[in-house]
Structure 1
């Protein structure tokens, strides 16, 4: 048998060289790496992402505010039962009347705070301090004529409440104040040219009253 000739040997070497060159080119090409896929084990990829911000904390809900001061009238007695007190509230304002039914009286006025407290002032340094409780009553003190009186005035339903009349009778200036208490009892003082005395009773339905023979009208008092 004849051995392969030199030409055949050269051809086989050439084919082998081409094959090795092709294989080297294929294995030498590297694909672009993914930075997340190539991350070392144990390193969290999420560490490179900023953390989500926490939701803003909510402020506590405000306490419900107290309702508006009512438009109402209040009348009652002092704790020593010597005098009467009436208070009329309208639109956050107050007017009050203190009288003993003989010769001591005082008109006072001022504002009512949102929490129901009030500090009213009158002539000669008189003061009335009170607190509205559940819209049902006013509890407080009246400083009149240099003396302090504690009082409680309950919510009044007409004809209970506060009345006043001013007029000229027989040449005298008349200024009268009346407190009609729950139950119908009346306490009042009339001044004739500045001189006080016990007031005659009024008709609570009409406000009519006769003073020194002349009929005048007492009307409900509001601030």
Structure 2
């Protein structure tokens, strides 16, 4: 009878080898599973130097426009009259006491309604157009200082002017017609002023030294 020792030893060695291979395979699978990680997708790169969208620019406001109109009124001391005609951002004014004191002035009128008009011999008118219905200001002339208010002229009132040659002499006349129908004017004959005859505000007709003339609205 043969001894089973060697055969059992061989079988035991085979079983041990199979067991070792099985354990190695299991361990390898476990290591492979634990070492494999799913990486999350990288976020899209952002540019730190991206320029912001330009802000929408609002349109610049249009400057207001002074309405073309005429204004006529009296000084606060009721000694004289002042009339101003505004056209196209410019103005012409006339100061007159109806006897011997007069001055023509002119200058620009900014969008805010302020005005500084100048005339001969240092004459100056400083005023402000208020709400488009009146001009409040002052006139400085020959050392005198006159505050005035000139409401917006109605039909027939306002500032009139006539220039002509009468009997060989240059004649220049200025008239201020107020809303109540009163008139103040001076006719200058070669540097000699005197009270002006009445003018018809509807037609501008006036007679100076026997000669008919036509006065027209004074414009800048």
Aligned to 2:36: 31
Structure 1 gaps, min length 5: 37-48
Aligned positions of 1:65-76 closer than 5 A:
67-76=64-73
Aligned-pair CA distance for 1:35: 7.8
Aligned-pair CA distance for 1:64: 6.2
Aligned-pair CA distance for 1:11: 2.2
Please, which of 92, 105, 117 is the counterpart of residue 89 of structure 2?
Answer: 92
Q: Distance in 2 between matches of 1:144 and 1:65?
A: 37
1:148-167 per-position Cα deviation (integer Å, ceiling 9, x unaligned): 10000001122111000001
Aligned positions of 1:15-164 closer than 5 A:
15-29=18-32, 30-32=35-37, 34=39, 67-164=64-161
Structure 2 counterpart SS, 1:26: helix
1:117-163 per-position Cα deviation (integer Å, ceiling 9, x unaligned): 11111001111100111111100000112201000000112211100
TM-score normalized with structure 1 length: 0.84
TM-score normalized with structure 2 length: 0.85
Aligned-pair CA distance for 1:68: 1.0
Aligned-pair CA distance for 1:66: 5.8
In structure 2, relative to structure 1, the CA distance for the partners of 1:152 and 1:65 (3 Å cut) is farther
1:92/1:112 contact within 8 Å kept: yes
1:160/1:181 contact within 8 Å kept: yes
Aligned residue-pair number: 210
Aligned-pair CA distance for 1:170: 1.4
1:5-52 per-position Cα deviation (integer Å, ceiling 9, x unaligned): 23332221121011111012112220136489xxxxxxxxxxxx899x
Aligned to 1:204: 201
Over 6 Å off, 4+ runs: 61-65
1:66/1:115 contact within 8 Å kept: no
